[in-house]
Structure 1
Amino acid sequence: MAVDRERVAALVRELLEAIGENPDRPGLKQTPERVADAYSEFFAGVGADAAAPLAHTISVTRGPAPDTLPSGAVMLRDILFRSVCEHHLLPFRGHAHIAYLPGERVVGLGSLPKVVEILSSRPQVQERLGEQIADAIAASLDTRGVLVVLDATHECVTMRGGRQTDASTVTIAARGELAEPAARAELITLMAGPPVAPRPSGGRGWPS
């Protein structure tokens, strides 16, 4: 479902008028169209199939290296994501860390960020986003367990209300064998290790 840019632009113009601004002044004249373009990107995941990137899997027993079977978890950490909080329509952004215990089939690592991108590109709350990522992976792959940790900063926390500029929110979603805290403790430790890239949120120190 594509964003209706013309309708968004018209509503943004009305919003500017509602806050007492003049949408025809030079600085705001192109704002409705700019916001419509931005919303087309921010909400491109509305109605999209988050499982689609996971459709192509690789057999670990009949694949290119059948004698190299995974003995532990497959992990991809520090996946950058951004989304829009559905409560205030303000952005939140951070890193997603994903691990799963593969069965007979695995998926290309590049598919995991695509799942995050689709599900984050819609009005969201962080708690639900992590659960949806875990559900998509668990339902699409032959996994024994899935773990998704999201670490993000929310502008509804940092820029309004108490304005806690250093606060970050951590959520954990787990499926299968990794639903047990003891089973996922090692993975949580690895995910919370030194970041591989500059981070928009605070330091790590997550519960298991």
Structure 2
Amino acid sequence: MARVSSAQRRVELVQAALRVIDRDGVHGATTRAIVAEAHVPLATFHYVFRSRDELIRELIAYVVEQEGRAAEGTLQSATDIRSLLRTGLQAYFDLVVSEPNREQAMFELFHYALRTDELDDLPRLQYERYHRTAADLLAAAARQLEITWSVPLDELARLLVTFTDGLTLAWLADRHDAAAARTMDHAADFIARFANPPTEQINQGAHS
């Protein structure tokens, strides 16, 4: 039997934890429940993670990275900022639709951490990751299309995350795909207004 690397085992345990949290809540996501879900011995957990809290932190990083990758994959095909934003939002939304249990688990974890003294830094860390990922994507979009943003990148990133949070919660509540599509249209329209055109276009306009 091929040996599984520690990195792969960490991913498997994170994915198992997400399933357990969605099914049984954060309280039910004990170390034993997670290893049972992953079909690995308890010793394996303690070999790759120092504690359950370390796994929870890894879980947040894993989910945010997956969402960022989904949007990042749309960068190369865009020709204007509005279509890039809309396509990126769609890629994010498609991930939500394909794995709604994962999003529900993340919200469950967020609210649990708010009520738990030992985890009171997790909500802040979770949103710092969201904001950093959004800022990186917006910066990459600006480089790709040779534009600049008219407001600070961190403010725009917070705005984008606010849109995606609302989009996700509303869809989890009503599963209304058409309404979600309209929300994404409006969000792309709004954020695109903060884009300054490329310098070349500005110069062409000045000489026309």
Greater percentage in strand: 1
State whether TM-score is above 0.5.
no
Could you state the TM-score of these two structures normalised by the residue count of structure 1? 0.28
Greater percentage in helix: 2
